[in-house]
Amino acid sequence: MDFKQKVAEIIKQLENELTIEEIMSFIEIPPNSEMGDYAVPCFRFAKKYRKSPNIIAQDFVEKIGLTNEFEKIQNEGPYLNFFVNKKFFVKNVLEEVYEKKEKYGSTLEGKGKTVIVEFSSPNIAKPFHIGHIRTTVIGNSLYKIYKFLNYNAVAINHLGDYGTQFGMLISAYKKWGNKEIIEANPIPELLKLYVRFNKEADEKPEYRDEARYWFKELEEGNEEAKELWQWFRDVSLKEFSRVYKMLNVEFDSYAGESFYSDKMSRVIDELENKNLLQDSQGAKIVNLSEYNLTDALIKKSDGSTLYITRDIAAAIYRKETYDFYKNIYVVGSQQKLHFEQWLKIVELMGYEWAKDCEHVQFGMVSLEDGTLSTRKGKVVFLEDVLNKAINKTKEIIESRNPNLENKDEVASDVGVGAVIFQELFNNRIKDYVFSWDKTLSFEGETGPYVQYTYARTCSILSKSNTEISSRINYSILSDKLAFNVIKKIDGFSNAVLSAAERNEPYIITRFIVGLAQEFNRFYHECPILVDDNETKNARLLLTQSVNTVLKTGLNLLGMNAPVKM
């Protein structure tokens, strides 16, 4: 039930020439609830009636009379103030949660529309490090949010499994590699080869030519090169899968950069035919100076293609395969220029759907002891961070609640959840510093706090031994503390919609932490399992609604909701 809409409908009965949208646009929310929940300023009718706005407000009050939805409609100066009928409001919201259960907050806005969410996309043979956590966690949440809104969402992992660095790896492996050592510890060992190659190439520039040669061979189907590449890819993916499993992340497609290797010549021909390519010392570029962007190198002088060429091919492929409504890329803001370049090129190719592609950027994460760099080989593995979070959580459980069942499972849900929650707490563009203390605290605005509140609702509900019903005395829930909880619940759908619209999961993070806080305020003042059945049943229904919405919210962030902690 949308009360603002209801206010608009009431006004429309008096002012039929206005549309509902027009009326909605000038309805205000008064600064405090003593002045009502909605206000209509009557200045705008003064001209028409040639009366003062104060008199008009007074006339309107008389004409409107009594309604179900509002317990009071008052004129206050030039304003018409609407006071929501609390009992009616409370009943409306809680009945809806009761009926829709885990679907509460969802809408059909996505029906028949496909949204591609590309996220994570780590590079093969490179560490899956803490820098990847943001794209993985933000993307996974957006994927879930779109699904919840009934979009046909497609999760794509655009693996970095192609490019000159594979030429380097092949060369390095042929020089110094050892199969057993790599099999035993793939990514750190491959990283070592890569780092050593880069270091030695600084003194021996011919190494770089060698690397280019091997990548060229790979592109042209040389068996030895292909076999090594496949092996690097397989062992790396095995490692990544472990992290995805811990984070409970799944993809619909792993079509990474190599997937487009046979689709590149078509792109280059098309660019050529559309007169977009220029020669530059034997290489092919698209000149973008007109758009204040640096030129885009599309094909090197040795004929090999680039990261950007593959992105153009991928976008065209996705449009043809999925006919997307939106195609979003959850990729760090360091790649802003890259995205601006290729999106411009797709637009210049005449594809009107370029406007439906969006680079969903985010800022950097660093650890308290400084940032990380792959090139120097100093790196924090994401898996180690998650394991540390799980172990620390286990210590907390051991000291607070040593008899808890499924300790390992709970430690994993809470530890991993804490990391996810921290990641999604701020708007994505902000850089932030990862702090262990903040992440794992059970107090304040943290994942464990919300999960703990959820577990609290579970325990109340199971202790009550009562079949929850929506046939309760709703006036019991019209007091301020209960009403605040329910008003919060009522905002859930809006929070989800704006999270999708702005591609900002943090709106849901803030929402659920706010709901947990409101519920805890209520819980500390209003005992739930009381002797009086009428009160108990009403408060239990409220508790169950909070339970439902917290769980949905946590799941939309990609977090689990353990029933006991």
Stretch that binds ligand ARG, among 65-73, 114-122, 401-409, 453-461 (CB under 6 A): 114-122
Chosen residue from 78, 110, 122, 415 binding ligand ARG by CB under 6 A: 122
CB of 396 to ligand ARG, least distance (A): 33
Chosen residue from 121, 165, 446, 547 binding ligand ARG by CB under 6 A: 121
Find the radius of gyration of the CA atoms of the chain: 29
* 123 near ligand ARG, judged by CB under 6 A: yes
**HEC sequence for 238-300:** HHHHHHHHHHCCCCCECCCHHHHHHHHHHHHHHHHHCCCEEEECCEEEECCHHHCCCCEEEEC
Stretch that binds ligand ARG, among 101-109, 116-124, 454-462, 518-526 (CB under 6 A): 116-124
Please say which residue, 120 or 141, places its beta carbon nearer to ligand ARG: 120
Footprint of ligand ARG on 312-371 (CB under 6 A): 329, 331
Nearest-angstrom CA–CA distance, 481 and 85: 16
| One-letter amino acid for residue 293 of the chain | L
CB of 116 to ligand ARG, least distance (A): 11
Angle (deg, nearest 10), helices 206-219 and 223-247: 90
Stretch that binds ligand ARG, among 27-35, 120-128, 263-271, 385-393 (CB under 6 A): 120-128
Q: Are 410 and 455 in contact (CB under 8 A)?
A: no
Please say which residue, 246 or 313, places its beta carbon nearer to ligand ARG: 313
Nearest-angstrom CA–CA distance, 393 and 415: 6
Please say which residue, 79 or 251, places its beta carbon nearer to ligand ARG: 251
CB of 118 to ligand ARG, least distance (A): 6
* 110 near ligand ARG, judged by CB under 6 A: no
Tokens 């907050």 label which residue? 105
CB of 121 to ligand ARG, least distance (A): 4
Stretch that binds ligand ARG, among 5-13, 115-123, 186-194, 220-228 (CB under 6 A): 115-123
Contacts for 402 with CB less than 8 Å, ≥ 6 apart:
none
H/E run at residue 51 = none
Stretch that binds ligand ARG, among 121-129, 183-191, 320-328, 475-483 (CB under 6 A): 121-129
Stretch that binds ligand ARG, among 118-126, 200-208, 269-277, 287-295 (CB under 6 A): 118-126
**HEC sequence for 57-117:** HHHHHHHHCCCCCEEEEEEECCEEEEEECHHHHHHHHHHHHHHHHHHCCCCCCCCCCEEEE
CB of 151 to ligand ARG, least distance (A): 20
The angle subtended at Cα 286 by Cα 280 and Cα 291, nearest 5°, is 125
Q: Are 419 and 138 in contact (CB under 8 A)?
A: no
CB of 371 to ligand ARG, least distance (A): 15
CB of 359 to ligand ARG, least distance (A): 9
Q: Which two tokens stand for residue 14?
A: 């008096």
Please say which residue, 155 or 556, places its beta carbon nearer to ligand ARG: 155
Strands (E), 296-448: 296-299, 326-330, 357-360, 365-367, 432-434
Nearest-angstrom CA–CA distance, 436 and 422: 10
Active-site residue set: 126, 129, 132
Footprint of ligand ARG on 427-456 (CB under 6 A): none
CA neighbor of 360 nearest in space, from 175, 544, 501 = 501
Number of residues that bind ligand ARG (CB under 6 A): 9
The angle subtended at Cα 221 by Cα 215 and Cα 225, nearest 5°, is 55
Please say which residue, 319 or 456, places its beta carbon nearer to ligand ARG: 319
CA neighbor of 192 nearest in space, from 172, 167, 165, 213 = 172
Chosen residue from 239, 311, 413, 504 binding ligand ARG by CB under 6 A: 311
* 160 near ligand ARG, judged by CB under 6 A: yes
Please say which residue, 317 or 442, places its beta carbon nearer to ligand ARG: 317
Please say which residue, 86 or 318, places its beta carbon nearer to ligand ARG: 318
Nearest-angstrom CA–CA distance, 201 and 196: 8
Please say which residue, 315 or 396, places its beta carbon nearer to ligand ARG: 315
Nearest-angstrom CA–CA distance, 332 and 135: 7
Footprint of ligand ARG on 13-52 (CB under 6 A): none
CB of 161 to ligand ARG, least distance (A): 9
Closest chain position to ligand ARG (CB):
160
CB of 148 to ligand ARG, least distance (A): 24
Binding site for ligand ARG (CB under 6 A): 118, 121-123, 158, 160, 311, 329, 331
